Amino acid sequence: MTALWTRDAAVAATGGRPLGRDWTAAGVVIDSRKAGPGDLFVALPGERVDGHDFVAQALQAGAAAALVARRPDGLGDDAPLLLVPDVLEALAALGRAARDRSSARIAAVTGSVGKTGSKEMLAAALAAYGPTQASQGNLNNHIGAPLSLARLAPTVAHAVFELGMNHPDEIRPLARLVRPHAALITNVELVHAGYFTGIEQIADAKAEILEGLEPGGAAVLNRDNSQFDRLAGHAARLGVGRVVTFGTGAGADVRLLAASSDAAGTRVEAEVAGRRLAWTVGGIGRHWALNSLGVAATLLALDLDPATGMAALGEVAAMRGRGGQVRLDLPGGALTLIDESYNASPPAVRAALAVFADTRPATGSRRIAVLGDMLELGAGAPAAHRGLAAAVTAAAPDVVFLVGPQMRSLAVTLPTGLVAGHADRSEDLAAKVAAAVGPGDVVLVKGSLGMRMKAIVTALEALAVPARRVVNGG
C-alpha cells in the first residue's frame, strides 16, 4: 500500500488529536459505502445524515482511520480516530497540506458549460507527460475540491481540478486552496442566472479562479466568448502576466480550422501557436472540438508541447448523463440512447440537440427528444425555454416529450402535433416514453438534475434485452 497520509502527517496538517492505534491511509473518502482497506474516512456532518453515524461501518469495511469531531458510540478503545474541532475545516487543512507538499504542475478548470469534459480531456492529455491525477466526477465544490486535493499523491507530476459554483464568492476560496499554475475558463453563459443580476456578474464569479494563480501562472480564456474582454480585464487587474486564448477567430493562440464528427468521435484541425495540428476526441459534437481547443491552450500555458498531449484525447468520450451514447438491444433491433440526464442549460441543450440531429436513426425509425426543465434561470426561465424552439425544430425530431412546468413555454412555440406528451414530473412520463420508442430509434434525454430525468433513462434501459451496450461514453 502506497502511503498517502500517515497518522503523524495528518495530525500535523489538521492539528487534531489522535486516538487509538497508529495508522497509514492510502485514500480519503467521505462516503462510508465506498470506504475500503486503507482509506481515511472523513465523517462529515450533513443536513440529512451525519458521517459519525457510519464510522463503525467504515472501519469494519477496512478503513484505516476516521476523521471525526466527536467519538462515536460503540467503538473500542483502540479504534483509529483523528479528533478535530470541525471535520470540514480539517478536510480543507488536509487539502492545503497536500498542495503544499506537492511539486505537481496544476491546472484548474471552471466555466458555465463544458468544464467536466475539459477536465477529463486535460487529465488524459497531461498523463502523456507523466503521472497525473484529477478530481473525480463532479467533485468541484466546497467539499469536493478539498477532498480532491487531500487525495493528491506527492509523486504525481500533474494534476487537474474542476471548480464549480452557482453563487458569487464560491470559487475564490477553492482557487486559493488549489493554487493552479494555469486556470482555464471554458466560457461564461447565462447558467445559474437565478443567482446573478446578469451575465457580467457570472463572469466576475468565474474570474475568481484567477485569484488563486501561482506567481507566473497563466489564464486560459475563450476568445469567442462574449465575456472575454471582461475576463481579460480581471486578469490584468490581478497582475496575471500571461493570457493564452482559444477560439475560432484569427486572434486566438489556439484556433479551430475544421471539425467533423461521426459515431467514433470528433476530428479536429487547429492552429496551435502558429503550428498546424490535428487530433481526435472521443466525444461527439462541435462543442467537444471547441472545448479541446481550451485543453491545447492549457498545455501551452503549462509550457508543454501540445502535440504530445492532444494525441491522447481519442479515448476521452462523454460520460453517462453528460452525452454518453448507449445501445439498447430491443426485440427487433437496437435503440440509441443519448444520455444527457445530468444537467441542462440553454447552451448545453443546444449542443445536445446538435449531436442529436447528427445521430441517424435506422431506416423507418424515428428521432425522439425528451427534454426537461432547465433550472436556476430565475425570472428569465420562460424566455430561455421558449428560446430553445429554433434549436429543437432544427434538430428535426419526429416526436418530442417535455418534462416540467417551464417546458410549457417551449411547448406552445413548437409545431402543432410535435409534442407527444408533457408532465411536470419525469416519473409520470417515463412509461409513456418507453411505450413510444422502438428498434432503430435515436432518443435524447436532456434536463437538469433536479428534474430527475434519470427516471426516463431507467425506463428505457428496462426495455433492453439482455443488456445495454455502450456506444460512446462510460
What is the tens place of the pLDDT at every residue in 123-167? 999 999 999 999 997 788 999 999 999 999 999 999 999 999 888
Band the pLDDT of 317: cuts 50, 70, 90.
confident
Domain boundary residue among 58, 84, 110?
84
At residue 471, the pLDDT reads: 59
Residue 27 phi/psi, 5-degree rounding, is: -155, 170
Are 428 and 449 within one domain? yes
- Tell whether 94 is covered by a domain: no
- Hey, what's the torsion of the CAs at 64, 65, 67, 70, to 10 degrees? 160
Given a cut of 70, is residue 52 above it in pLDDT?
A: yes
Q: Span 256-275, mean pLDDT?
A: 94
Q: Tell me, yes or no, whether 258 and 159 share the same domain.
A: yes
Q: Does residue 273 share a domain with residue 166?
A: yes
pLDDT for the residue numbered 472: 65
Residues 203 and 278 in one domain: yes
Do 181 and 46 fall within a single domain? no
pLDDT of 220 above 70? yes
Does residue 90 form part of some domain?
A: no
Query: Using 50, 70 and 90 to split pLDDT, how confident is the model at 275?
Result: very high
Nearest to 311 by CA among 126, 133, 35: 126
Domain count, the chain: 3
pLDDT in tens, 106-123: 999 999 989 999 999 999
Residue 263: pLDDT band (50, 70, 90) is confident
CATH code of the domain containing 295:
3.40.1190.10
Specify the pairing of strand 468-472 against strand 24-25.
Answer: unpaired
Domain end point (choices 21, 50, 84): 84
pLDDT at 468 over 80: no
Both 240 and 261 in a single domain? yes
Any idea what the CATH number is for the domain that residue 370 is in? 3.90.190.20
pLDDT at site 465? 79
CA distance 66 to 46: 16
- Note whether 401 and 432 are same-domain residues: yes
Asked if the model's pLDDT at residue 93 lies above 60, the reply is: yes
Question: What pLDDT, on a 0 to 100 scale, did the predictor assign at position 300?
Answer: 98
Instruction: Say if residue 273 is in the same domain as residue 373.
Output: no
pLDDT > 60? residue 274:
yes
Give the integer Cα–Cα distance in Å for 390 and 361: 21
Do 134 and 279 sit in the same domain of this protein?
yes
Which of 258, 290, 315 delimits the end of a domain?
A: 315
The predicted-structure confidence for 158-184, as pLDDT tens digits, reads as follows 999 999 988 899 999 999 999 999 999
Report CA torsion sign: 404, 170, 138, 293: positive
Residue 232 lies in a domain: yes
- Asked whether residue 214 falls in the same domain as residue 244, the answer is yes
22 within some domain = yes
**In this structure, is residue 335 part of a structural domain?**
yes
Together in a domain, 288 and 408: no
Both 206 and 112 in one domain: the answer is: yes
Buried/exposed code over 126-144 (b: 16+ C-beta within 10 A; e: otherwise): bbbbeebbbbeebbbbbbb
Domain that holds residue 74: 5-84
Residue 32 maps to which CATH number?
Answer: 3.40.1390.10
Domain assignment of residue 89, yes or no: no
Please give the pLDDT value at position 451: 96
The CA-to-CA distance between both ends of the chain, in Å, stands at 28
User: Has residue 92 been placed in a domain?
Assistant: no
pLDDT tier at 46, thresholds 50, 70, 90: confident
Q: Which residues contact 220 (CB under 8 A, 6 or more apart)?
A: 182, 183, 184, 185, 243, 244, 245, 246, 294, 297, 298, 301
